[in-house]
């Protein structure tokens, strides 16, 4: 693949979200890979520089290695649309919807796709929340998390009624909206998707086996105790059905470029339940999209270049 056609590449990393640390790790990996491929790639941190400088400095394309708010939620995508600079990943609307776990669930449910039962609470009304009613509706254990965060930040698996108030308070520190979700007990899996529209396709499924079943921020990024199984160990039929499901879930949200969808498979019924989608997945040494890509014969460097080649705009005809 020719590298000259990309021109001057900005790798957007860091940013102002709670996932800044992870984003910096992702961005440094992407930057190194693109430079090793001979591209004119440079780091750009929107927390330290105004995004308008991208246009003034003549950047031709952006690889978004930002995670969370202001990077994965449609805001930076909208800025790049106004600047007319193509970028990797989903556009404004899909990014915004996918960042909001409750809104994502609403779209999936409207399309008949399976996702765990949930209740959406507001920070300002937590004092009036009935723990008994929540538990009756969702059962225990229950997952409590901010509606618009990633990397398992602010997430609690509630196993006792007495722990619910603290879990709600923790999630409320991160977001005004708190998602309480039915806990599906079984196999935790994730599946990346590449491409757009009818050309979207799944990469190999990864089954995640975390210490004591706790796939939290620490076990995601800073320990080697979590096992990532690819091949997943699922049956051929289960894996094929899962890949079909995640591609459908990706398409109905209008995603493009790439993404990764997390799924729980009920240990008794073997029914899969969609949890959430990441439209700017991690690219660190512990990240799952590069791991799945390797299993499909795609190196980290080739993956970065392929993703950069998919960079686009919602309104390419308006590019100035």
pLDDT digits (tens, 9 = 90+) for 97-155: 999 999 999 999 999 999 999 999 999 999 899 999 999 999 999 999 999 987 678 99
State whether 163 and 239 are in the same domain: no
State whether 173 and 243 are in the same domain: no
pLDDT digits (tens, 9 = 90+) for 16-73: 998 899 999 999 999 999 999 999 999 999 999 999 999 999 999 999 999 998 999 9
CATH number of the domain that 174 lies in?
A: 3.30.1490.20
pLDDT digits (tens, 9 = 90+) for 258-301: 999 999 999 999 999 999 999 999 999 889 999 999 999 999 99
State whether 105 and 217 are in the same domain: yes
Q: What average pLDDT does the segment 230-255 reach?
A: 97
Both tokens assigned to 136:
């009756």
Asked, for residue 292, whether it belongs to a domain, the answer is yes
DSSP bridge pairs for 158: 142
Q: How many domains does the chain have?
A: 3
Both tokens assigned to 286:
């512990």
State whether 168 and 215 are in the same domain: no
State whether 173 and 147 are in the same domain: yes
Structural contact between residues 102 and 120, judged by C-beta atoms closer than 8 angstroms = yes
Predicted confidence at residue 57, as pLDDT, reads: 97
pLDDT digits (tens, 9 = 90+) for 167-209: 999 999 999 999 999 999 999 999 999 999 999 999 999 999 9
Report the alpha-carbon distance of residue 230 to residue 130 in Å, rounded.
42
Which of 129, 161, 182 delimits the end of a domain? 182
State whether 198 and 279 are in the same domain: yes
State whether 269 and 176 are in the same domain: no
pLDDT over 80 (residue 1): no
Active-site residue numbers?
19, 151, 221, 260, 262, 276, 278, 282
**Structural domain for 79, as ranges:** 4-88
At a CB cut-off of 8 Å and minimum separation 6, what does 190 contact? 205, 206, 208, 260, 261, 262, 263, 288, 292
Asked, for residue 130, whether it belongs to a domain, the answer is yes
């Amino acid at each position: 693949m020719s590298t000259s056609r990309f021109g001057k590449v900005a790798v957007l990393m860091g940013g102002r979200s709670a996932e800044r640390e992870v984003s910096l790790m992702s961005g440094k990996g992407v930057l190194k890979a693109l430079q090793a491929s001979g591209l004119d790639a440079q780091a750009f941190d929107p927390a330290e520089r105004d995004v308008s400088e991208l246009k003034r400095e003549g950047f031709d394309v952006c690889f978004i290695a930002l995670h969370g708010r202001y990077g994965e939620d449609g805001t930076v995508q909208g800025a790049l649309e106004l600047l007319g600079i193509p970028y990797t990943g989903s556009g404004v609307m899909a990014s915004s919807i996918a960042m909001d776990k409750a809104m994502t669930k609403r779209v999936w449910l409207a399309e008949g796709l399976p996702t765990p039962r949930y209740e959406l609470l507001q920070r300002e009304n937590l004092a009036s929340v009935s723990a008994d009613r929540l538990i009756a509706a969702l059962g225990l254990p229950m997952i409590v998390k901010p509606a618009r965060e990633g990397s398992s930040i602010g997430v609690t698996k509630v196993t006792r009624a007495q722990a619910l108030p603290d879990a709600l308070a923790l999630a409320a520190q991160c977001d005004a909206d708190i998602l309480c979700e039915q806990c599906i007990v079984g196999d935790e899996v994730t599946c990346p998707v590449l491409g757009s529209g009818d050309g979207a396709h799944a990469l190999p499924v990864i089954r995640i086996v975390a210490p004591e079943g706790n796939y939290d921020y620490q076990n995601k990024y800073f320990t080697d105790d979590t096992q990532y199984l690819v091949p997943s160990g699922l049956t051929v039929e289960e894996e094929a059905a899962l890949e079909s499901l995640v591609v459908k879930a990706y398409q109905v949200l209008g995603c493009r470029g790439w993404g990764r969808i997390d799924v729980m498979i009920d240990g008794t019924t073997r029914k899969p339940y969609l949890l959430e989608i990441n439209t700017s997945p991690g690219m660190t040494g512990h990240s799952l999209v590069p791991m799945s890509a390797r299993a499909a014969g795609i190196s980290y460097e080739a993956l970065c270049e392929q993703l950069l080649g998919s960079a686009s705009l919602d309104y390419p005809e308006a590019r100035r």
